Amino acid sequence: MFMFLYLLVLHQILKVKVMKQLSVCLGLFLMLSYYSVRAQVTPERALAALKEGNSRFVAGKSIKPHQDVNRIKELASGQKPFAVIVGCSDSRVPSEIIFDQGLGDLFIVRTAGQVSSYASFGSIEFANAVLGAKLIVVLGHTQCGAVAAACKLPEVPGHIVSLINAIKPAAKLAKHQHGDEIENAVKINVAMQVEQLKNLEPVLTKSTKDNSTMVVGAVYDLKTGKVEFLPENYLSNLKS
């Protein structure tokens, strides 16, 4: 009888240990699967997905993916956006709509003139280093009020002046270019912000140098809905 009880207890102990080991293995498998999926979304593939989505939006053929009840339930356990959009707060430029994406696809950081501060930097780094989004798009837009204010320098109340001051370098450089001053300033502002993020220590400067992260600039046209991606050497081709 004693031997039977001993064997029964031993069996239960071994059973618990096996279950714990299986649980650990399952956890490791799920974690590796998660990071494997994230690794498959390269910066290049993420950029292609955004371009394809914007093309659908402009053509009036948006498919509005990942916007159903199942997607809501799926995201309740966590998020894994494939791109970060650092955009302007303007209500006419909703990133998920113009890129034809859905819930959990994009990590959005928005301020007027897409001016970044420490809180914005931390949010961008979190999306990149923790959530695994390897594409960062700085998205400006035509007829941007914040950029226009930096060009015209009107009297403004409160903290609005901090936005204007951040965009002044772009506005100053735009005065030396051919074409519309404000629209040039919009593009220059975006390009300068791209360089700022590429050189942001310690997270982004490392991941951009080893090419695991891509930071690109783009401008949304309010009249057409089309997003124009700026060439990497945009700033170097400007008149000083």
Q: Are residues 118 and 172 in the same domain?
A: yes
Q: Are residues 66 and 123 in the same domain?
A: yes
Q: What does the pLDDT average to over 219-230?
A: 98
Q: What's the pLDDT score for residue 188? A: 98
Q: Are residues 99 and 22 in the same domain?
A: no
Q: Are residues 147 and 182 in the same domain?
A: yes
For residue 59, the domain's CATH number is 3.40.1050.10
Contact 152, 126 (CB under 8 A): no
Q: Are residues 189 and 218 in the same domain?
A: yes
Q: Are residues 55 and 129 in the same domain?
A: yes
Q: What's the pLDDT score for residue 239? A: 73
Give the model confidence (pLDDT) of 109-155 as tens digits: 999 999 999 999 999 999 999 999 999 999 999 999 999 999 999 98
Q: Are residues 34 and 112 in the same domain?
A: no
Tokens 């074409």 sit at which residue?
179
Residue 195: give the domain boundaries.
42-237
Structural domain tally of the chain?
Answer: 2
Q: Is 30's pLDDT higher than 70?
A: no
Q: Is 90's pLDDT higher than 50?
A: yes
Q: Are residues 25 and 59 in the same domain?
A: no
Contact 82, 49 (CB under 8 A): yes
Question: In sequence order, what are the residues at sequence separation of 6 or more whose Cβ sits closer than 8 angstroms to the Cβ of residue 208?
Answer: 198, 214, 215
Q: Is 16's pLDDT higher than 60?
A: no
DSSP state of 153: -
Q: Are residues 127 and 16 in the same domain?
A: no
Q: What's the pLDDT score for residue 44? A: 97
Q: Are residues 84 and 180 in the same domain?
A: yes
Computed on alpha carbons and rounded to an integer, the radius of gyration of the chain in Å comes to: 24
Helix, strand, or coil (residue 87): strand
Identity of the amino acid at 94 = P
For the chain, the average pLDDT equals: 88
d(Cα 6, Cα 227) in Å, to the nearest integer?
72
**Omega cis (within 30) before 157:** no
Q: Are residues 51 and 35 in the same domain?
A: no
The whole model's pTM is what?
0.82
Half-sphere exposure of 5 (CA within 13 A, CB side): 2
H/E element, 109:
strand 106-111
Q: Is 33's pLDDT higher than 50?
A: no
Q: Is 1's pLDDT higher than 60?
A: no
d(Cα 106, Cα 212) in Å, to the nearest integer?
18
Rounded to 10 degrees, the C-alpha dihedral 183/185/125/89 comes to: -50
DSSP state of 231: P
Q: What's the pLDDT score for residue 20? A: 53
Q: What's the pLDDT score for residue 177? A: 94
Q: Are residues 80 and 137 in the same domain?
A: yes
